[in-house]
Amino acid sequence: MKAVVVGSGGWGTALSLVLCDNGHETWLWSHNPAKAAEMAESRRNPLLSSVELPESLRITSDLDCLKDADMVVSAPPSFAVRKTGENIAPYLRPETVLVTVSKGIERDTNLRMSQVLQEATGNICKVVALSGPSHAEEVGIRMPTGCVSACPDRAAARFVQDAFMNDYFRVYTSYDIIGVELAAALKNVVALSCGVIAGLGYQDNTKALLMTRAMAELTRLGEQLGGTRRTFGGLAGMGDLIVTCTSLHSRNNRAGMLIGQGKSVQEAMQEVGAVVEGYYAAESIHQLAQREDVEMPICQCAYEVLYQGKHARDVVSELMTRAKKDELLERTWL
Catalytic residues: 187
Rounded to whole angstroms, how far apart are CA atoms 98 and 53?
23
Q: What angle is formed at CA 130 by the lines to CA 166 and CA 165, rounded to 5 degrees?
A: 10
DSSP structural state of residue 261: T
User: In Å, how far are 23, 174, 234, 286 from 223, measured between CA atoms?
Assistant: 39, 16, 14, 16
Rounded to whole angstroms, how far apart are CA atoms 229 and 44?
40
3-class DSSP state for residue 89? helix
Extract the runs of DSSP E, i.e. beta strands, from 36-188.
58-60, 71-74, 97-100, 126-131, 145-150, 169-174
- Give the torsion sign (CA, 62, 67, 73, 79): positive
- Position 199: which residue type? G
